[in-house]
Amino acid sequence: MYNRTMEKELRVIISGGGTGGHIFPAVSIANAVKAQHPEAKILFVGALGRMEMQRVPAAGYEIKGLPICGFDRKHLLKNISVLFKIWKSQRMARKIVKEFKPMVAVGVGGYASGPTLNVCADAGIPCLIQEQNSYAGVTNKLLAKKAAKICVAYEGMDRFFPADKIVMTGNPVRQNVLNATCTKEEARQQFGLDPAKKTILLVGGSLGARTINESMKQHLDIIREQKDVQFIWQTGKYYNEEMNAAVKAFGELPNLKVLDFISDMGAAYRAADLVISRAGASSISEFCLIGKPVILVPSPNVAEDHQTKNAMALVNHDAAVYVKDADAADMLLKQALTIVGDDQKLASLSENIKKLGLKDSADVIAREVVKLAWKE
C-alpha cells in the first residue's frame, strides 16, 4: 500500500468493457475528469480481444489488456481455463496498479473490471462503480461491498447495493448525440431522404440485431406500400451483406436507406420521428435526454434478461413501447407504422421519456471520482 495523498497529480484507473454500453460511459467519464482536471492521468484496463482495446485508444487514452473472460454457463468444463485466466489477470492487475499508482478506481461493469477493482480495493484505493442497467450485473454486485460509491441510473437500486453508497447520476452518453445542430429536414437530406416525410430509424447496435433486421426483411412489401413514411435501417456489420442482398433482390425501394453503421447518430436521431432499438442502458439514456419516441425490442441474449427490465422501467412510465423479441418479426413493423402515424402518441411518448432523462451525468460522476481521490 502507498500513501495516495502524497501524489501531486490526479491519477485515475478506469476498468471494464466488453460492449459499447460499457465503453461509451467509461470514455465519457474520462473526458469529464479531464475537462475538470486537465492535468489528470487516466489509464484504462480492459479485456484482451474485446472492443475496448480499439475504442479506448481511438478516444485518446492508454489501455492495458487482461486475458480475462467470462464464465461459460453452458459448458462447465471450459471454466477450468477461465479460472486460470482470472488468476493470471489478478496478478497482471496487481502489477498495473502498483506501477500506475492510481488515487481512485472506476469500474463500469463487465468482467474486466473485477480483477482491477479488487486489487485497488485491497490496496486501500477508493473505488467507484457505475451501474448502467436497472438490474445490476454480476461483477458490480460482487464489487459493491468494496466500493465507496455506486453511481446508478434507475430508482430502486438499493435492492442490489447498500443504500448509503448509491448516488443517482444517470448514464453518461455520447456528446455528439446531444450536440447535433442540424434540423430534422437537414438530417433527412443528409441520409438522402425526403425532408418532409415521417421517418422511422431502426438500430440494433454496431453488430446488429437479428430480430429487428428480420422484421424488415420479411416485410419489404409493406415498406414499398408506404407513400408517406421512410426508413433509415442500420443493419449492423454482421447482417449487412444478407440484408442488402434481400433488398436488392426485392427491387427498388426509394423510401428505404440501408446502412451497416451510422457514424453520425446525432443526425440519425434528429431525422427520426420514431426509433426502433434494443434496450441497452446507454441507448435508453440517449433517448431520454433527446426525448425521442422509441419502440424497445429487448435482446433475450443478455445476462439476467436485464434489457427487458430496462425497457419495463420506461414502459411503466408510459415512456416507451415494448415489443417482445419473439413477436417482433410479425408485429414490429405494423406497430411502428401505427405509432408514427399518430402524432398525439408520438408527442406523449416524447414528453414522458424526456422526464426520465438525467443531464450532465458524466460531469456528476467525475465530481464523485475527484472527491474520492482527494478524500473530500
Do 297 and 319 fall into the same domain? Answer: yes
Q: Quick: pLDDT tens for 13-37.
A: 999 987 767 888 999 999 999 999 9
pLDDT at residue 99 in the model: 98
Q: Which amino acid is at 10?
A: L
Is 129 in the same domain as 221? Answer: no
Query: How high is the pLDDT of residue 19?
Result: 74
Predicted confidence at residue 98, as pLDDT, reads 98
Is there a single domain that holds both residue 31 and residue 82?
Answer: yes
Q: Do 61 and 141 fall within a single domain?
A: yes
Does residue 356 surpass a pLDDT of 70? yes
Percent of the chain with pLDDT over 70: 95
Give the C-alpha separation, 113 to 135, whole Å.
17
Q: How confident is the model at residue 303 (pLDDT cuts 50, 70, 90)?
A: confident
Instruction: Answer yes or no: are the C-beta atoms of 285 and 361 closer than 8 Å.
Output: yes
147 in the same domain as 199: no
Q: Which long-range contacts (CB under 8 A, 24 or more apart) does 321-325 make?
A: 321/294, 321/295, 321/296, 321/349, 322/295, 322/296, 322/298, 323/295, 323/296, 323/297, 324/297, 324/298, 325/211, 325/297, 325/298, 325/299, 325/300
Greater pLDDT, 7 or 45: 45
Lowest-pLDDT range of 67-76, 231-240, 276-285: 67-76
Residue from 116, 144, 134, 209 nearest 171 by CA: 134
* CATH number of the structural domain spanning residue 151: 3.40.50.2000
Banded model confidence at residue 376, pLDDT cuts 50, 70, 90? low
Looking at every residue in the chain, the average pLDDT score rounds to 93
Residues 149 and 297 in one domain: no
What is the per-residue pLDDT across 344-355, written as a single tens digit (0 to 9) for each? 999 999 999 999
271: enclosing H helix or E strand: helix 265-271
What is the pLDDT at residue 5? 47
Which structural domain range is residue 113 located in?
4-171+359-373
Residues 241 and 214 placed together within one structural domain of the fold: yes
- In this structure, are 66 and 202 located in the same domain? no
Lowest mean pLDDT among 81-90, 101-110, 279-288: 81-90
pTM attached to this predicted model: 0.86
| Domain total in the chain | 2
107 pLDDT higher than 90: yes
- The cell for 156 is 430502486
Q: Please check whether residues 22 and 155 belong to one and the same domain.
A: yes
113 and 241 co-located in one domain: no
- Please indicate, yes or no, whether residues 20 and 46 belong to a single structural domain of this protein: yes
Same domain, 149 and 180: no
Each residue's pLDDT tens digit, 161-219 = 999 999 999 999 888 888 888 999 999 999 999 999 999 999 987 677 999 999 999 99
